Structure 1
Amino acid sequence: MDEVVEPYREWGALVPGAEVWTRTAEGGEFRILPDGCMDLLLMDDTLYVAGPDSRAWTGEAPRGTRYAGIRFAPGAAAAFLGVPARELLNQRVLLADLWSPNRSRRLADRIRLAAHPATALDQEVANLVEAPPDRLISQVLRSVRGGLLRGSAGVSRLAGAVDLSERQLHRRCLDAFGYGPKMLDRVLWMNVALNHARTGLALADVATRTGYADQAHFTRDVKALTGLPPTLLLN
């Protein structure tokens, strides 16, 4: 009998800004788009960390492979994991490679033996998160989401606002997000634009609404980050 494939589901996590998600693999390849986030996930019985992506990541899993994960808000996972995000850029690693084997195994055992692993993962992560979000991370995200990094002077303005040099700001962003402020801006705004496009809005209107110079600029950026133009990506 074929494995029952449960659809992708997500809901708000106990940790502010994070999302809990579950899915069962349909089999074959799948594509993950860069979104500025990092995930801690239980794949069958093993805990993995998915680092931030600067390009689309293509994976493959047998049909029926079960996942339960928590997707941290951009910039939030590095402090929880104790590893600079830059070291995990475009990486998928075992949690045991970042933490001690005993610590990661005990956490995995508590989650996988629970009646509802996704709920247990959510609670365990909430119990382990200690520090509030870094104020710099919050300010960078507000600037990006407000469109303030658009244009050639955006990074300079942000660096001045947080009393850092551009070089210091870039290094702090690499540690928190895995990439610098301009790359973070590209990734987050690409996702905003794709969400608009998924509603059926014409691509030219999407580009105008989300700050691209024109549809061609939007198409080039999406293809550079995902490997596909939006017309194919959204099919």
Structure 2
Amino acid sequence: MPIVTAPAATIAAGAGSAGVSPGAAGSGGVGPGAAGSSGVGPGAAGSGGASPTTGDEIPYRQWRTAVPGATLWTRRVGPAGSTGRVLPDGCMDLIAVDGELIVAGPDTHAHPADSPPGMRLAAVRFDPGVGPAVLGVPARELRDSRVPLSALWPARRVRALADRLAAAPDPATELARALAGPLFTANDPRLRRLVAELARGTPVGTVAADSYLSERQLHRRCRDVFGYGPKTLARILRMNRALDAARGGRSLVVVAADFGYADQAHLSRDVRALTGVPPTVLLAD
């Protein structure tokens, strides 16, 4: 499956922004799907658009929720199934797949994503920092993990949400309705500014000072809301922006210069460290 880049996520062939595969749960792979890291997800899409598809596969679709803070996405895997990788993007996902609800935590590295034939997915991808407030769990506890929602919420609440989605003609939209209240409450303009500053490459010390925090306090705060410290988040955000620019036609030499890498070799090393493959492989998918 081709690489997918969403407003807040980059997904490679065969996975959603969580990479969910039925049957695997726990750190790094949760049963039927997973957001952020489970093994199921959108298949491949251009930035903000439907993904390229083959055979009977239904295009990956994504659209922003009415309440700021999240993106909805849906996908159905074709008869041949699909394989690929889910790239780290700073986001968390809540994915409904085959009657299960899976949470994919924030990733620090790429995860394999194998999707069986006919798998249907409907999910919400939380912007960086939003998921913990909606789900009620610190992001650091879900880092590089795919876990059943039932591990985080009371069984009755999870069952009610699953039944509601099963009865809905459009599960993704219904999921957005169900989470509208928590999403509204979770919106924190200070976090959005923090993410924007880190994405621009603002030094961590400056970001901390602007937030009236010491660097140590900022690190602790970031681990709770993003799953990792500000330097790791900035590195992941920069990589995704750089890959987006390269997909838009800029050469890797220009991209490296534009996004503050020492040179193209530095860009390639960073991408390989986070994804397991060089940027040329990702751009060719």
Q: Tell me if both proteins adopt one fold, taking TM over 0.5 as the criterion.
A: yes
| Residue 184 (structure 1) aligned to one of 208, 233, 248 | 233
Pairwise mapping of residues 35-54 of structure 1 onto structure 2 (< 5 A)?
Answer: 35-54=89-108
Higher helix fraction: Structure 1 or Structure 2? Answer: 1
Alignment match, 1:165: 214
**Alignment partners' CA distance in 2, 1:28 and 1:92:** 19
TM-superposed CA distance for 1:143, in Å, is: 1.1
Number of aligned residues:
228
- Paired residues of 1:25 and 1:63 also in contact (CA < 8 A): yes
**Alignment partners' CA distance in 2, 1:19 and 1:34:** 16
Amino acid at match of 1:89: R
Alignment match, 2:257: 208
Q: Which runs of 5+ in 1 are unaligned?
A: 149-153
Alignment match, 2:142: 88
- Paired residues of 2:130 and 2:186 also in contact (CA < 8 A): no
TM-score for the superposition, normalised by structure 1: 0.92
TM-superposed CA distance for 1:113, in Å, is: 1.2
CA-to-aligned-CA distance 1:43-74 (integer Å, 9 cap, x gap): 12111111100000112221110000111111
Structure showing greater radius of gyration is 1
**Alignment partners' CA distance in 1, 2:97 and 2:264:** 38
Asked if residue 106 in structure 1 is aligned to residue 160 in structure 2, the reply is yes
Q: Which runs of 5+ in 2 are unaligned?
A: 1-54
Alignment match, 2:128: 74
TM-superposed CA distance for 1:130, in Å, is: 4.8
Amino acid at match of 1:228: V
**Alignment partners' CA distance in 2, 1:104 and 1:158:** 37
TM-superposed CA distance for 1:136, in Å, is: 3.8
Asked if residue 11 in structure 1 is aligned to residue 63 in structure 2, the reply is yes
Percent of aligned pairs sharing the same letter: 51
Asked if residue 155 in structure 1 is aligned to residue 209 in structure 2, the reply is no
Task: State the 4+ residue runs in structure 1 displaced beyond 2 angstroms.
Answer: 127-130, 132-136
- Paired residues of 1:140 and 1:181 also in contact (CA < 8 A): no
SS in structure 2 of the partner of residue 11 of structure 1: strand
CA-to-aligned-CA distance 1:188-210 (integer Å, 9 cap, x gap): 11000000111221110111111
